[in-house]
Amino acid sequence: MSINAAFSQNLLQGKVIHFDKLSKNEDESRVFRQILKNEQTDFMEKISIHHSTLKPGHKLRPSHAQEIDEELIIIQDGLLTVTIEGQTKELGAGSVLLIMPKDMQQMNNLSNKDVNYFVLIYKSKSPREKEEIVKSQIVDWTNLIFKPHDKGGRRDFFDRPTAMFNRVEMHQTTLNEGLNSHLPHKHIAEEMILLVDGNARMQIGEHFYEGSKGDLFFLPSNQLHNLTNIGKGPTTYFAFQFN
Q: What is the DSSP string of 31-45?
A: EEEEEEEEEB-SSEE
pLDDT, residue 131, reads 62
Domains of the chain by range and CATH?
10-139 (2.60.120.10), 141-242 (2.60.120.10)
Check pLDDT > 90 for residue 61.
no
Average pLDDT over residues 43-67: 92
Q: Is the pLDDT of residue 237 over 70?
A: yes
- If we measure between CA atoms, which residue out of 227, 234, 188, 187 comes closest to residue 211? 227
pLDDT, position 133 = 79
For residues 162 and 70, the answer to whether their CB atoms sit within 8 Å is yes
Check: CB of residue 41 under 8 Å from CB of residue 12.
yes
- pLDDT, one tens digit per residue, over 100-142 is 999 999 999 999 999 999 999 999 999 887 667 799 999 999 9
Q: Supply angle C-alpha 77, 83, 88, rounded to 5.
A: 90
Residues paired with 91 in a beta bridge: 80
| pLDDT score for 9 | 59
- Give me the torsion for CA of 21, 23, 27, 29, rounded to 10°: -40
pLDDT of residue 60: 72
pLDDT at 57 over 70: yes
* 3 pLDDT higher than 90: no
Specify whether the CB–CB gap between 213 and 195 falls below 8 A. Answer: yes
Local structure of residue 64 (DSSP, 8 states): B
Q: Give CA separation, 232 vs 52, 63, 188, 200, 228, in Å.
A: 28, 43, 32, 10, 12
8 pLDDT band, cuts 50/70/90, is low
- Residue 4: pLDDT band by 50, 70, 90 thresholds? very low
Instruction: Give the 3-state secondary structure of residue 210.
Output: strand
pTM, 2 dp: 0.93
Residue with more model confidence, 202 or 59: 202
Instruction: For 79-96, write each residue's pLDDT tens digit.
Output: 999 999 999 999 999 999
Cβ neighbours, 10 Å, residue 14: 18
Confirm if 209 and 226 have CB atoms less than 8 A apart. no
How many whole angstroms separate alpha carbon 97 and alpha carbon 91?
Answer: 10
Instruction: Compute the mean pLDDT over every residue in the chain, rounded to the nearest whole number.
Output: 94
Distance (Å, whole) CA 54 – CA 202:
30
**Residues 219-235, mean pLDDT to the nearest whole number:** 97
Residue type, 86: G
Residue 5 scores a pLDDT above 60: no
3-state helix, strand, coil in the chain (%, to 5): 5, 50, 45
Pairwise pLDDT comparison (58 vs 172), residue with the higher score: 172
Of the candidates 109, 115, 122, the one whose C-alpha atom is nearest the C-alpha of residue 12 is: 122
Give the model's pLDDT for residue 6: 41
Q: What is the mean pLDDT of residues 54-81?
A: 92
Mean pLDDT of 159-182: 96
pLDDT at residue 58, as a whole number: 87
